[in-house]
Amino acid sequence: MVKVAILGFGVVGSGVAELLRKNSEKIAATARCEVELKYILDVKNSPESEFSEKIIQDFETIEKDEEVTIVAECIGGKGAALDYVRRALLAGKSVVTSNKELIASCGLELLQIAKQQRVSLLFEASVGGGIPIIRPLSQCLASNRIEEIYGILNGTTNYILTQMIQCEKSFEEALKEAQRLGYAEADPTADVEGIDACRKISILADLCFGKNVPPEKVETEGIKNVTAQDVTLAQDLGYGIKLLGRAFRTNAESEISAYVAPHLVAANTLLANVSDVMNGIVVRGNAVGQCLFYGPGAGQMPTASAVVADIIDAALHADDKKYINWEAEAPGCFIPGAEVESRWFLRTSALPEKVAAILENAKISKLTDQCAVITPAMKREELLNLNLPILSAFRVLE
């Protein structure tokens, strides 16, 4: 028998407890042993919960209980969660987590501790919610040299952009609708400014390229500046707008780059048709080519599904650990996004004739008092030096 403790009894933690109860027979059969929930760490007693007798307030009880061999961290953030995860690993307990901020910022340190203590640190749920992506990258695609990974990594922003494209709503209207439906928080900053997607692409870059990519190095732009005019002009040119996290190898063998920003995506591609709160992640390997992983990127039970899958994996490999690892960042290996060339969607108040004179043979889409064009490949600085009044500028996904 394997005994588990859950840290945090919010949306994800309560979902993990419920799934362990509801699917106990299936979980036991897959893990080849019974998986028992022993403790739930929470600040509240929650006497109305069916799990009330398992709720405790002192982490030290879990830390010192040798029967507990797996800890599921569902608190979030880097405060108490970092302290508890570090202590659990040092106490010889495997840890599974859905905490993207923790893994993006502290994963290098925590994975090293896990390896030293010969325990597992698993984090499938930290990216993509219920979409399997961490395990496929580290196992199923392990024979590939990954060249690029990119995708729609945040369901809230994808819902907002979908409403702007399909229902012709403004950003403000779409955000209010997302908040009403519970897709966006009262403070949506982490979503709409791209912070959530930044943490996720940082983790994916770490895995794909084997080097630590700190989230603070990932240039990040959200969707607050996307307007109805951008949507209309992009559609005229045959594109939709998506917030993408991207990480890829540059032309140099050892160089990588990563950034988060709105992108124009060709309307006839699968990724352009990932709508509402769904996520889609594209992996390009030198053997497999392109793979698209699609599914719910958040939500109680999809995320709980990934957490419990990691619990099963930790139980199965209690004696023969499978270590996920990446190295510290090598000096000079990271290239800022501003230094990477790409084609750009440029919306400007300049007359079409002036745009055509500067960007010869470019296809131009017009509104009454402005127009848009897709530029040749160039760096951001070159774009700013075109001598055109820029209203919007977004990269084009090739």
Q: How far is CA 378 from CA 151, 226, 251, 343, 383, in A?
A: 22, 21, 15, 6, 7
Alpha helices in the chain (DSSP H): 11-22, 24-31, 59-64, 80-90, 100-117, 134-135, 155-166, 171-180, 189-192, 195-209, 228-236, 300-316, 352-358, 380-384
Question: 252, 260, 241: which is closest to 104 by C-alpha?
Answer: 260
Mean local confidence (pLDDT), 270-288: 95
Distance CA 112, CA 380 (A): 37
- Residues with Cβ within 8 Å of 80's Cβ and at least 6 positions away in sequence, in order, are none
Please answer whether residues 137 and 200 qualify as being in contact, where contact means their C-beta atoms are separated by less than 8 angstroms: no
Boundaries of every domain in the chain: 2-130+300-316, 135-296, 341-396
Q: Which of 54, 200, 321, 363 is catalytic?
A: 200
Q: What is the CATH number of domain 135-296?
A: 3.30.360.10
Chain segment 284-321, per-residue pLDDT in tens: 999 999 999 999 988 899 999 999 999 999 999 988 87
Could you tell me the two tokens for 250?
Answer: 């540059």
- Quote the Cα angle for 130-16-92, to 5°: 105
Mean local confidence (pLDDT), 213-229: 96
Q: 3-class SS at 386?
A: coil
Give the sheet arrangement for strand 121-122, strand by strand: 55-56, 35-41, 2-7, 68-73, 94-97, 121-122
Chain segment 186-205, per-residue pLDDT in tens: 999 999 999 999 999 999 99
Distance CA 170, CA 84 (A): 42
Check residue 252 and give its pLDDT: 66
Check residue 146 and give its pLDDT: 94
- Does this model's pTM top 0.85? yes
Check if 2-130+300-316 and 135-296 are the same fold. Answer: no
Check residue 322 and give its pLDDT: 74
Topology of domain 2-130+300-316, per CATH? Rossmann fold (3.40.50)
78 labelled catalytic: no
Please answer whether residues 362 and 234 qualify as being in contact, where contact means their C-beta atoms are separated by less than 8 angstroms: no
The string of DSSP letters for 134-202 reads HHIIIIITTTS-EEEEEEE--HHHHHHHHHHHHS---HHHHHHHHHHTTSS-SS-HHHHTSHHHHHHHH
